[in-house]
Amino acid sequence: MSPTATAMPPAVLSRSSYLLSSAVRLRSFSRTPASASSFAAPRRLPRSSRALSVRASSASDPPLEVCVKASTIVPNRLGDCPFSQRVLLTLEEKHLPYDLKLIDFANKPEWFLEISPEGKVPVVKLDEKWVADSDIITQSLEEKYPDPPLATPPEKASVGSKIFTTFIGFLKSKDPNDGTEQALLTELTSFDDYLKENGPFVNGSMLSATDLSLGPKLYHLEIALSHYKNWSVPESLKYVRAYMKSIFSMDSFAKTRALPEDVIAGWRPKVIG
């Protein structure tokens, strides 16, 4: 699937910048019972091949237009938004082609503000309409492209849902005795217990939408807390640590993750402010 070069607005990254010329084979997951040692990391791509790619489910599939935050560190590179990565992970895991449009948040173009008046990402064009909010986007993708299925059973959809907010609370905290660290540890311990009984993923052996939402958030947690707090997930939470290693090792994650430097820069205002 070779793209045709077309003129695009400023700050828009052409699909041709990211298309891989050779076919990318799907990676497979370990399906062993839940244990810390059962999280076999999927094969990583060589470092030189870790650029974002577009994979088509069929040659006739039109690419979806996706607006995401651009890196503030490296030109023509994905930025640090975990919600944008969630959408890109969904597209990658469903093998859908897409045109990636990187938005410079320091100088948002007029065409972007017309489709996203609040200036927020991600935004995806579905059925000729621009759709915002990663929750709505991923649900819409699941309904429109149900194969392969990624929906999480309703009774499992809220697993780990409080980790991100407690992480932010701890990251912003200036008082070591205000209980924010313990609040995060409580949520991570609960998630560890869940994975021990139900893993390796939230939906057992099947990767699901909840994993694709949690993964980017845990990636931000790992990088930001290490940099600003010299803190990491305790080794005693071995199922959470193994889960993170497994998710971060996925080919789709490696292709869509932000640079650590962008993650650090992105959280700096919250820490300093």
Per residue of the chain (273 residues), give pLDDT as tens: 333 333 444 343 333 333 333 333 333 333 333 444 444 443 333 332 233 434 434 446 789 999 999 999 999 999 999 999 999 999 999 999 999 999 999 999 999 999 999 999 999 999 999 999 999 999 999 999 999 999 999 999 999 999 999 999 999 999 999 999 999 999 999 999 999 999 999 999 999 999 999 999 999 999 999 999 999 999 999 999 999 999 999 999 999 999 999 999 999 999 997
**Vertex 148, ends 143 and 150: CA angle to 5°?**
65
Transcribe 194-256 into DSSP letters: HHHHH-SBTBBTB--HHHHHHHHHHHHHHHHHHHHH-----TT-HHHHHHHHHHHTSHHHHHH
What confidence score (pLDDT) does residue 5 get?
36
What confidence score (pLDDT) does residue 4 get?
36
Q: Which of 34, 81, 124, 247 is catalytic?
A: 81
Of the candidates 243, 257, 230, which has an alpha carbon nearest to the alpha carbon of residue 170? 230
> What does the block give as tokens for 159?
């697993």
Please give the helix or strand (H or E) that residue 64 lies within, else none.
strand 64-69
What confidence score (pLDDT) does residue 273 get?
76
**CA–CA separation, 72 vs 173, rounded Å?**
25
Active site (annotated) includes residue 67: no
What confidence score (pLDDT) does residue 161 get?
98
What confidence score (pLDDT) does residue 60 get?
60
